[in-house]
Amino acid sequence: MKKSIEYICSDCGYLSKYWLGRCPNCQAWDTLVLNSVNNLNEKFCEVKPLKITEISRSSFEVFDTGFSELNRCLGGGVYKNTIVLLAGNPGIGKSTLSLQVAYNISRSRKVLYVCAEENYGNLKVRFDRLFSNYPENLFLFDNSNISYILEASKEFDVIFVDSIQAIRSSDLSTPVGSISQVKSCIDKIVEFCKLYGKTFIILAHVTKTGYIAGPKFLEHMVDVVLLFESRDDYRVIRVSKNRYGSTDEVGVFVMTDQGLRENNYIQFENVGRNPGSVFALLPEGSRFIPIEIQALVNKSYSEKPRRIIWGIDNIKIMVIVSIIEKFLKFDLYKYDIIMSVIGALRVFSNVLDFSIAVSIISSYLVFPVERSIFIGNLNLYSSIEFISKGKFRQCLLEASKFSIQRIYSNFSRDQIVSEYQDLKELIENIEFYKVESLKDLIKLWG
């Protein structure tokens, strides 16, 4: 097959039939280099359009990752003939998580783990730290050449590539990790994936600003994009793109000496014993995630009281403090307010404004709210607005796991029981307090 000759910009990946001194796309000088394009040397079968009724459902086979948190983010698991991109900061645990997933999938499928960044020895040390036995279906491949990787991948069902910025195409003379190299390698992986029906899980680096390194083209070409974030010992997976499920889902893990483990939330069982500590459920995707909101309201001895906030939007706190001062007549302008969220997630939405307000009030009044939960939205006039009964039901089911004894909301027990008979036994020992504003809450507390 005759090779087609073209030139590629080593900075932005622009393609040209002729050599140019200056790239028309990024305006960089002397960056166009020779790019000899070789297609996969395979005999393509006859290609023809298919009716939707002719498509077999076997193509929608799903591989269990062994982590329910990760399965939820992926839309049920890793789909066959799919490319998943997992990106995160250095040292966050991308390789550890991908090796654990590779181990779990290898129990039923043949898995290849391409360690382009590390050698066999380094990976073996990590493997021995995480696992006590060696699966028969898990193979390692210490190579960074995309042609060799794809040739070796033909015998496997699921292929892990660690990482896309560390592999290279011999067709290009540009450095490993450059835009043109990443673009060329992902092009070949996508073509190979479609031709052979393989599944790829690809790790990716991020820049110092938090964006995935390389061309934006990379994210467009894959089926799922997962972003791996860190906060203390927690690891959070957020979905940036998903062709098989919602992008609202999150997965929460804890980093341990034995690798990543799914969070069991035991540490939230005793929340509320101290004034300012409030248990709350943050809706994320199809579920509620437990967090603890902590507030410390203390007399200020400076002309300008401090507002020190971790994990909550600062503007949100300013608004809530203004509502409390206006309608409850608390002189919070004389107090320092220090707030934090304990848990893996940060709070930016308005769904927990009621709980945040209670946390500040609890600390100010030195009134603990142990085993209590506050459900509803807070408007600018200090009124507690209704949430849907469906979300309220989900919240009750999740709260029941933490021995909640008191619920403050706009709903009474009778309203919930009349709508959901199956919750009658669940909420039998829970006290319901109907509040329509923050003033009603203060009256209840005496």
Confidence band for 3, pLDDT divided at 50, 70 and 90: low
What are the respective helix, strand and coil percentages of the chain, to the nearest 5?
A: 30, 30, 40
Confidence band for 36, pLDDT divided at 50, 70 and 90: low
Residue 59 reports pLDDT greater than 70: no
Residue 426 reports pLDDT greater than 80: yes
Q: Of residues 219 and 403, which shows the higher confidence score?
A: 219
Query: According to the CATH classification, is domain 266-445 in 3.40.1190.20?
Result: no
CATH architecture classification, 62-262:
3-Layer(aba) Sandwich (3.40)
The pLDDT of 323-333, averaged and rounded, is 95
57: Cβ–Cβ under 8 A, 6 or more apart, which residues?
none
- Supply the mean pLDDT for the chain: 88
276: Cβ–Cβ under 8 A, 6 or more apart, which residues?
294, 295, 296, 297, 359, 360, 362, 363
The pLDDT of 402-409, averaged and rounded, is 90
Domain ranges of the chain: 1-39, 62-262, 266-445
- C-alpha to C-alpha distance for 340 and 296, rounded to whole angstroms: 9
Burial grade of 70 (CB within 10 A; 0-12, 13-18, 19 or more): buried
Domain 62-262 matches domain 266-445 at the CATH topology level:
no
- Tell me how far apart the terminal alpha carbons of the chain are, to the nearest angstrom: 86
DSSP 216-251: THHHHHSSEEEEEEEETTEEEEEEEEESSS-SS-EE
Which of the residue ranges 100-114, 277-291, 415-429 has the most confident prediction, judged by mean pLDDT?
100-114
The pLDDT of 253-264, averaged and rounded, is 85
pTM: 0.78
Residue 186 token pair: 């992902």
Confidence band for 386, pLDDT divided at 50, 70 and 90: confident
Tell me what pLDDT residue 44 has.
Answer: 47
Residue 325 reports pLDDT greater than 90: yes
Residue 177 reports pLDDT greater than 50: yes
Residue 232 reports pLDDT greater than 80: no
Tell me what pLDDT residue 38 has.
Answer: 47
The pLDDT of 224-245, averaged and rounded, is 89
Residue 57 reports pLDDT greater than 70: no
The pLDDT of 129-149, averaged and rounded, is 93
Tell me what pLDDT residue 293 has.
Answer: 94
